[in-house]
Structure 1
Amino acid sequence: MAQGENGSIHENTGERSPAGQEAAQDTSLAPRRRKPWFLLVALVLVAAIVVLIARKPKDTQSSATAGPQIATIKAATAHLGDIGYYVDALGTVTPVATVNLYSQVNGTVTDVHYTEGQMVHRGDPLIDIDPRPYEAQLEEAEGTLQHDRSVLAQAEMDLARYEKAVTLQAIAQQTYDDQKLAVEQYRGTVRNDIGQVQAAQVQLSYCHLTSPINGRIGLRLIDRGNTVFSGASNPLVIITQLQPVTVVFDVAEDNLGQVRDQILHRKALPVDAFDRSQETKLASGKLLTLDNQIDTSTGTVRFRAQFDNNDLTLYPNQFVNARLLVKTLKNAVLVPSAAVQRNGTQAFVYVVTGNTVKIQAVTELTTEGDVSAVTGIDAGTVVPVTGFDKLQSGSTVTIQSMQAFDSGQQRLERTQDKSGSTL
């Protein structure tokens, strides 16, 4: 049995049973079965990448062969019209006159006749100062004058007697000559007394302050009962003339030639004053004058325009935008300002021809609101006003609508009617 057992053991170790062989085969095939799945996934990924790479140039090629896109735009037709050639500048409202009234005498304020912000006229009473000391000085001066006039009259009577007596040789010639010179001395004394009376009258007039101009009173600076002194640094009242009023604005020296030509022909150039936003016209006036020299630090010339300011819309030191109408361009080619594009310093427009556009260089003469006068195109030319981001020379377009716009002269007349004023 031992041999039998040893033999069977020897047999088991040398040769495997059928069940043992199958288990060994399953164990060796397990990793071999997993490898085809990994290869299949890798092949699918590689195929997907190849397909994407292969389709990308096809998509690009298809988009390139699809043709340019058609741009939808709004357009306008250029036409002839009149437009003003304006010079725009920043200006400040400056009153024609501003008066600071100071006390020229010492005394107590007895009455104040004005209220803050009151419109006053020339000669209206404003402030009264106690006049009694100056009335007394005037009375004294007049008394001295009366005395000296009587002395002069007596001396002249004596001179008349001496003249007859010297003719009859009743008195010495020297007595007559002395009396003649004494009369001249009394006459000088009387003239001095007259000056003293006039000086006292002037001092007395300073006790009653009146308005020297037509204008508006500022805030109240003095009250009744205060003592004022001659030579004080603070004014008693400030008056500013508002009608008419002026606007001072600076114009570049490049525009001086055209403005000067109009002034030399004695033409009153109209000037409009607009608010800060340049949307509301405040008043209309005319150019009054210009400075006699150019400011070298800014290269500008100071202009002054005058406005009636009947409705008091312009206020001293107010900031305004001044528009000076230098001339009116007649029968100019007008287009919407939105149609004018720029490439650096060169202005151009897109011109619609059929269903395509092309670039046309133009020169912009002037702009008024949303209308521009140009040269380089003719009246009747259709120009786009929208869709510029999709346009280039040769682009195909479809006009969605035509935009109408007014000429500069029509806009000017409508603005004047709306504001109720004319140039």
Structure 2
Amino acid sequence: MIAPNGRTAGVPPPGVRRPRDAITMRCPHRSWTQSAAALILALAGGGCGRPAPPAPPAAAEVTVTTPRTVRVPEYLEVTGRIDAELVVDIRSRITGYLTKVAFRDGQFVMKGDPLYEIDVRPFEAQLAAAAGTVEGLLGEQRFLEVQVARFEKLVAKGAASQQEFDSYSAKLDENSGRLAAARAQHEAARLNVEFCSIAAPISGQISRTQLQIGNLITQDTTTLTTIVSIDPIFVYFNVDEPTLVRMMTHARASGRGPAIGGSQTIVDVGLVDDVDRTYPHRSVVDFLNNQLDTKTATITMRGRLDNPYSRDPAAPRPPLFHPGMFARVRLPLSDAVERLFVPEAAVGSNQDRKILWVVGADNLASTCEVTVGQKLGTWVAVSANDASRPLTAADRIVVRGLQRCREGRPVTPQTAADDSLNLAGLVVPESVRNRSQAPASPQQPADQASGNAPREAAGPAAAAPLPPPVEDPR
């Protein structure tokens, strides 16, 4: 604003100083601005010294071991089931009332041992009636034969007519037919009497009886019990098409004769108690189905197992295998070669890949992608997927503490004690090492391994006496 004297309003004349408090009161924000700037400079000057970085984490403690080299063939493990060679449902061939049960539930029986008896009295009466009919027809036949011979001579002399001779000849032929039918009825009646006694059709173990004394048995309908054969016994299993081709190709290449159904095809069998996967029993493959199942792309195979037992009450010995048991079957796919085995606990997963943690000479952890193969106890065969970085027996493999390992990070390795690695599972049986030569008796090592006596010393030959029969109170 211009004053009348031509000066700007509020501006002092030349030579006159404005009071300090007037300046302060006129522009109070300048002092705050200067203070804030000074504070910022002070803070900036004090932040020139950066704090020290945090200390690196301590090396993780892990337990390591080295792979073991084992000479063993390549195997494939499949599941199977134990099944009997023969299964027979016992039924009656006649209708009648049960009068005797001649066995104990679950006992071992021999072929021909008596099992049941049915009331035979009605059938004996039918047999007697049929026999009487036959005797009557035989007497009539003898009379007619005499008459035919007599009239034949009389006709030749002209003393009798041809019609009389023809009549007796026709009666003789009719009698011969009725006599044949009567004899057939007599044989049927005799068989019915025989069928009143039911015997074991095979040797094996019998189930429990379904009917007791006094019950009516219907012909060919009522199932009385079941018998399954025990020795020998079979293990059934399925293999896929690639495995079958490998087995047959290997057998042909090794020159060991037929790959399937021959005495040289041996598989190892273990039961549910074989936790360490030692497969102590040996089986000879004797059957290959004639076609693959198109729904599952698998084919059924069967191995034969000796299954001795003893019925001797002084030294009873039950069989080892029973129909319906679960079994593990190990199939040989190649000859024995050296393979690297690591504890199964050392194998980790990275999405769909299997990895091992390898500790280098500088104690730095790194991953090695591997392919997992067969098992020996709690150990598995492995091979590195990267050919430029093969796995060796000198490498240190992490077996405990896998979750603490990081790629390229240092670790503190501690060597695992041998007693904590279950090395017993790495022992390969002699029968497995020399698979190229099949033994003459492939089941014998399995019997010895399972504590069974030789087959000649046992078996069902020594039969125990049957229990006292349960008689009909009538």
Using structure 1 for the length normalisation, give the TM-score. 0.70
Larger radius of gyration: 1
Match of 1:365 in 2: 373
Superposition deviation, residue 410 in structure 1: 1.8
Check whether the contact 2:62–2:402 (CA below 8 A) recurs between aligned residues.
Answer: no
1:324 to 330, 337, 345: 330
Distance 1:151 1:234, change over 3 A: closer
Secondary structure in 2 aligned to 1:315? coil
Match of 1:58 in 2: 52
Distance 1:217 1:374, change over 3 A: same
* Aligned-residue CA RMSD (Å): 4.1
Check whether the contact 1:81–1:407 (CA below 8 A) recurs between aligned residues.
Answer: no
1:382 aligned to 2:395?
yes
Residue deviations 1:223-265 (CA, integer Å, cap 9, x gap):
33x1414248543333333333334444455534345666447
Residue deviations 1:264-315 (CA, integer Å, cap 9, x gap):
4734332413217745868543444354555555555444444333342333
How do residues 148-159 of structure 1 correspond to structure 2 at under 5 angstroms?
148-159=137-148
Secondary structure in 2 aligned to 1:410? coil
Check whether the contact 1:333–1:373 (CA below 8 A) recurs between aligned residues.
Answer: yes
Match of 2:108 in 1: 119
Distance 1:164 1:395, change over 3 A: farther
Check whether the contact 1:83–1:368 (CA below 8 A) recurs between aligned residues.
Answer: no
Check whether the contact 1:271–1:305 (CA below 8 A) recurs between aligned residues.
Answer: no
Give the fraction of aligned pairs with identical amino acids, expressed as a percent: 23
Residue deviations 1:51-96 (CA, integer Å, cap 9, x gap):
9x977x5132xx25x9x8375542214425114502222x444333
Q: Match of 1:221, as an amino acid? A: Q
- Gapped runs of 5+ residues in structure 1? 1-46
Match of 1:86 in 2: 76
How do residues 299-378 of structure 1 correspond to structure 2 at under 5 angstroms?
300-310=298-308, 311-318=318-325, 320-338=326-344, 339-351=346-358, 354-356=361-363, 358-376=366-384, 377=390
Check whether the contact 1:84–1:409 (CA below 8 A) recurs between aligned residues.
Answer: no
Q: Distance in 1 between matches of 2:49 and 2:118?
A: 105
Match of 1:219 in 2: 208
Q: Distance in 2 between matches of 1:407 and 1:378?
A: 21
Q: Match of 1:366, as an amino acid? A: Q
Secondary structure in 2 aligned to 1:59? coil
Structure with a larger share of its residues in helix? 1
Q: Distance in 2 between matches of 1:194 and 1:351?
A: 90
Q: Match of 1:213, as an amino acid? A: I
Check whether the contact 2:61–2:414 (CA below 8 A) recurs between aligned residues.
Answer: no
Secondary structure in 2 aligned to 1:204? helix
Match of 1:419 in 2: 450
Distance 1:108 1:402, change over 3 A: closer
2:232 to 228, 241, 244: 244
Secondary structure in 2 aligned to 1:189? helix
Check whether the contact 1:82–1:408 (CA below 8 A) recurs between aligned residues.
Answer: no
Q: Distance in 2 between matches of 1:408 and 1:289?
A: 31
Q: Distance in 1 between matches of 2:367 and 2:151?
A: 112
Match of 2:266 in 1: 269
Distance 1:329 1:383, change over 3 A: farther
Residue deviations 1:184-231 (CA, integer Å, cap 9, x gap):
33222221111101110121122212222222232343333x141424
How do residues 185-264 of structure 1 correspond to structure 2 at under 5 angstroms?
185-224=174-213, 226-231=214-219, 234-259=222-247, 263-264=259-260
How many residues were matched structurally?
A: 367
Q: Distance in 2 between matches of 1:120 and 1:106?
A: 24
- Gapped runs of 5+ residues in structure 2? 1-42, 252-258, 309-317, 385-389, 433-444, 455-474
How do residues 42-57 of structure 1 correspond to structure 2 at under 5 angstroms?
57=51
